Amino acid sequence: MHNKNILISGAGIAGPALAYWLNRYGFTTTVVERARALREGGQAVDFRGEAHLTVLRRMGILEEVHAMRTAMGDQVVVNAEGRKVASLPSGFMSGDVEIHRGDLSRIIHDRTKDGTEYVFGDWITSITESADGVHVTFAHGEPRDFDLVLGADGLHSGVRALVFGDESRFLHELGYYVAGISVPNHLDLDRTGLIYNEPNRGVLLASDRDRSVASAAFFFASPRLSYDRHDVDQQKKLVSDAFAHVGWETRRLLSHLPDATDFYFDSIAQIRMDRFTKGRVALVGDAGYGATLGGLGTGLAIVSAHVFAGELALANGDHRVAFPRYVEAITDYARGCQKVAGNAGPFLAPATRAKIWQRNQTYRMLSSRPLAGFFNKLSTKAANGITLRNYPG
Ligand SMILES: Cc1cc2nc3c(=O)[nH]c(=O)nc-3n(C[C@H](O)[C@H](O)[C@H](O)COP(=O)(O)OP(=O)(O)OC[C@H]3O[C@@H](n4cnc5c(N)ncnc54)[C@H](O)[C@@H]3O)c2cc1C
């Protein structure tokens, strides 16, 4: 076997999934994660269609994912007084199986922690490639040599910046931002979500398995914001300013922002690259073709990690054979998923009262069974847009 010793940057979803498959094929894996511990925040993420479910099954985690599923019911659009305006059937938002992102990350991490060296609180500062390997330096740890380096470090990938160029060349912002925190379930929601809108703003409050907590998500349209991605207080302030005059329960939800420990904030953006491998370095998941919200990003990360590791195993570790096959298998699939994501912002935070009304009419149509089935099929089509090879077991 060539290239046995592999460094993965990022312990989100794609990173641990890569570690899982690579360990299974006999590679040695090290994962370096910038955060001090596994980042457990984030909203619920869903899997839909046979490709996603097949990979979860092949990983042996489908049952566990099912056991931890949110089992969300319908979501309800409310007006400022909290009265129902329209509702959205669960399958539309929640796919075939929906799970909290943090629970998923924990499940895959637990499956890999004995066979993988996880290094938290550190990150790569340079990558120098030679004919027979890669020399890597870290912000804190000693320099080390590896055979391959994989960037699974998300939308703002450090590996991408070091090897492929500045983020601004690849990151396309779609004009919306998303934030999320956990809050007390003060409305006693039971496996349901409430959605409230004002022009260019959307607030989603949902509670599922654990009725003592709810997750609050804030979506807003905005010209490009400039902020420090590592300054959480600054980001919290951006969110509270953006929602300062929004009605319904918003003020109460915002009051939990200062103490929130699982705050998530990002732009709704996509990574578009012609090639996401170079020499001995490859990008997997959001780092290479991120679609954020509504872009089936978690399913894409899971499927791509499987395809990447499978191709490397089939090529007996030879990256010169495996990388082009990985790129060929994933490029069109990822583009299809990204296309679906383009509409997420306007759907969650319509620009005007008329557009909110129109969106609610669409929700009403989706509540009729035949139409819901039709639209579900459309969204599942992109998720299924890949034929998975029978990689070694
Ligand atoms: C805390 C969190 C919450 C999220 N919540 C949502 C959500 O609510 N809705 C949504 O649509 N998507 C959310 N996402 C994004 C979603 O998880 C991804 O789109 C998808 O699951 C693909 O996963 P990924 O592993 O490619 O990227 P990610 O899940 O983003 O994982 C990337 C990992 O790399 C780490 N990292 C970043 N830079 C470096 C570096 N330089 N060196 C080492 N490690 C680095 C990050 O800390 C993170 O753990 C969230 C991501 C995170 C990290």
Contact predicate 265/239, CB 8 Å? yes
Of residues 367 and 101, more confidently modeled = 101
Counting atoms of ligand 1 from 1, which one is nearest the CA of 293? 11
Report how far ligand 1's centroid is from the alpha carbon of 1 (Å). Answer: 31
Q: What is the CATH number of the domain that holds 226?
A: 3.30.9.30
Is the CB of residue 264 below 6 angstroms from any atom belonging to ligand 1? yes
Question: What 3 state SS string does 129-195 have?
Answer: EECCEEEEEECCCCCEEECEEEECCCCCCHHHHHHCCCHHHCEEEEEEEEEEEEEECCCCCCCEEEE
* CB burial of residue 36 (10 Å; 0-12, 13-18, 19+): exposed
- Reported as a pLDDT band with limits 50, 70 and 90, residue 375 is low
Q: What is the mean pLDDT of the chain?
A: 93
Same domain, 177 and 318: no
- Is 235 part of any domain? yes
> From ligand 1's centre to the CA of 273, what distance in Å?
18
pLDDT digits (tens, 9 = 90+) for 175-212: 999 999 999 999 999 999 999 999 999 999 999 988 99
Ligand 1 atom with the smallest distance to the CA of 285 is 26
Shared domain for 358 and 236, answered yes or no, is: yes
Residue 82 falls inside a structural domain: no
The whole-angstrom separation of Cα 363 and Cα 77 is 9
Whether residues 129 and 155 fall in one domain: yes
The band of 301, judged by pLDDT with boundaries at 50, 70 and 90, is very high
How far apart CA 253 and CA 332 sit, in angstroms, is: 40
- The structure tokens listed for 241 are 């300013």
The 10s digit of each residue's pLDDT in 304-334 is: 999 999 999 999 999 999 999 999 999 999 9
Whether residue 260 has pLDDT greater than 90: yes
Q: How far away, in angstroms, is 302 Cα from ligand 1 center?
A: 13
* Residue 384: band (very low, low, confident or very high) from pLDDT cuts 50, 70, 90: confident
317 and 365 both lie in a single domain: no
Residue with tokens 């980001």: 235
Q: What is the pLDDT of residues 209-238, one digit of tens each?
A: 889 999 999 999 999 999 999 999 999 999
**Would residue 154 count as lying in a domain?**
yes
Question: Quick one: which atom of ligand 1 is closest to the CA of 284?
Answer: 26
Is residue 189 domain-shared with residue 292, that is, in the same domain?
Answer: no
- pLDDT value at 376 more than 80: no
Residue 150: which CATH number?
3.50.50.60
Examine the domain organization and report whether 291 and 201 are in the same domain: no
pLDDT of residue 51: 94
Atom 51, ligand 1: which residue's CA is nearest? 42
- Residue 362, SS3 per DSSP: helix
The pLDDT of residue 61 is 97
Using an 8 Å Cβ cutoff, are 72 and 131 in contact?
no
User: Would the CB of 102 count as within 6 Å of ligand 1?
Assistant: no
- Checking if the pLDDT of 240 tops 80, the result is yes
CA angle 199, 200, 201 (to 5 degrees): 90
Judge if 29 and 156 occupy the same domain. Answer: yes
Same-domain status, 250 and 353: yes
Task: Please tell me the residue having the least CA distance from ligand 1 atom 21.
Answer: 298
Within this chain, do residues 242 and 261 fall inside the same structural domain, yes or no? yes
Pocket of ligand 1 contains residue 32 by CB under 6 Å = yes
- Closest protein CA for atom 3 of ligand 1: 42
The pLDDT value recorded for residue 318 is: 97
The whole-number pLDDT of residue 374 equals 64
**Residue 31 belongs to some domain of the structure:** yes
Where does the pLDDT of residue 41 fall: very low under 50, low under 70, confident under 90, or very high at 90 and above?
A: low
How does strand 75-78 pair with strand 192-198?
Answer: parallel
Domain count, the chain: 2
Whether 45 and 124 map to the same domain: the answer is: yes
For residue 92, being part of any structural domain is answered with no
Residue range 102-115: mean pLDDT, rounded: 96
Report how many helices (DSSP H) and strands (DSSP E) the chain contains, helices first. Answer: 14, 18
Six-digit token string for 48: 């839909």
- Of 340, 339, 313, 337, nearest to 325 by C-alpha is 313
Task: Please check whether residue 81 lies inside any domain of the structure.
Answer: no
160 pLDDT more than 90? yes
Domain that holds residue 50: 5-70+97-171+270-342
Q: Determine, yes or no, domain membership for 389.
A: no
- Domain contains 79: no
Percent of the residues in the chain that have a pLDDT greater than 90, as a whole number: 78
- pLDDT tens sequence across 131-157: 899 999 999 999 999 999 999 999 999
My answer on whether 158 and 17 are in the same domain is yes
Residue 39 pLDDT > 70: yes
- Percentage of the chain exceeding pLDDT 70: 95
Same domain, 195 and 238: yes
CA separation for the pair 309, 139 (Å, rounded):
27
Helix (H) or strand (E) holding 320: helix 319-341
Strand 192-198, strand 264-271: pairing: unpaired
What does the pLDDT read at residue 40? 76
**Is residue 369's pLDDT more than 70?**
no
Q: Per-residue pLDDT for 267 more than 90?
A: yes
